[in-house]
Amino acid sequence: MQNEAAIRIHEITQKFGSNVILNSISLTVDKGEILGLLGPSGSGKTTLVKAVVGMGNIDKGQVTVFGHRMPNLEIVQKIGYMAQADALYEDLNAIEHLAFFGRVYGLTGEEIKEKGKRILELVQLSEHARKKVLYYSGGMKRRLSLAIALFHEPDIIILDEPTVGIDPVLRRHFWDEFLRLRADGKTIIITTHVMDEALHCDRLAMIREGELIAEGRPDQLMQAIHASDIEEVFLHYSNHNERRGRE
């Protein structure tokens, strides 16, 4: 099953008015790998992952997931998505959130009850399960968002800045979970602007101003230019790209 493409992004371009958000980006994500999308905010990461879920209107190019062109509601069923903003309902508690999203993804009442308990333990929200989201801290909201994304046990997990604003202990905990999911054969796309987080990914795609500036395994990317960390790699290719742009 290894090295089989789960997601193919083919030359997608998205413009917003005269602003180019994504410029002809092509990427392939293999089954069972963690792809890190690395780039500053505003670089187009969110637009790119939304296109994979089938949201938004791409101007050119196409995305296929498991061989099906997106948007496709049957495929969406197999994707878990954690948005950058915590899209939660303030007046509902964690259990009510899981019940709603569980139903939307077709889980039965039994499954929701049973899996809900487990997933809340996983994100350490069991004791706050009946608290309104209104009273949640930022970190708790992130955890609930993650729980919702993983709840229906999707084959593809798309996480948009999952670790922003959470404490390092929890971040480590999240990553342990991501690695465990990969071991289960799940495919994960994770966006981040934290460079050291990128080291955990199997492969990195660096994006800047809508352009894919570099792609490869973290260690290889560093070796190729004799860099000591990922930030150096990013800076190197950013400058490289700018020089090319000027010429």
Q: Does 61 bind another protein (CB under 8 A)?
A: no
Written as six digits, the tokens of 45 are 């990461």
* From 4, 16, 60, 87, residue interacting with another protein (rule: CB under 8 A): 87
Q: Does 77 bind another protein (CB under 8 A)?
A: yes
Strands 19-30 and 5-16: what pairing? antiparallel
152 or 203: whose CB is closer to another protein?
A: 152
Name which of residues 97 to 136 contact another protein (CB under 8 A). 101, 104-106
CA distance 168 to 163: 9
Query: How many residues are given for the chain?
Result: 247
How distant is the alpha carbon of residue 142 from its chain centre? 13
Rounded to a whole number of angstroms, the distance between the first and last alpha carbons of the chain is 43
* From 11, 42, 85, 180, residue interacting with another protein (rule: CB under 8 A): 85
* From 68, 89, 109, 137, residue interacting with another protein (rule: CB under 8 A): 89
Strands 203-208 and 211-216: what pairing? antiparallel
Written as six digits, the tokens of 171 are 């971040």
Q: Does 71 bind another protein (CB under 8 A)?
A: yes
Task: Please identify, among the stretches 19-27, 59-67, 86-94, 217-225, the one whose residues bind another protein according to the rule CB under 8 A.
Answer: 86-94
Q: Does 19 bind another protein (CB under 8 A)?
A: no
CB 29 within 8 A of CB 35: yes
User: Which positions lie near another protein, rule CB under 8 A?
Assistant: 50, 53-57, 71-74, 76-77, 79, 81, 83, 85-90, 101, 104-106
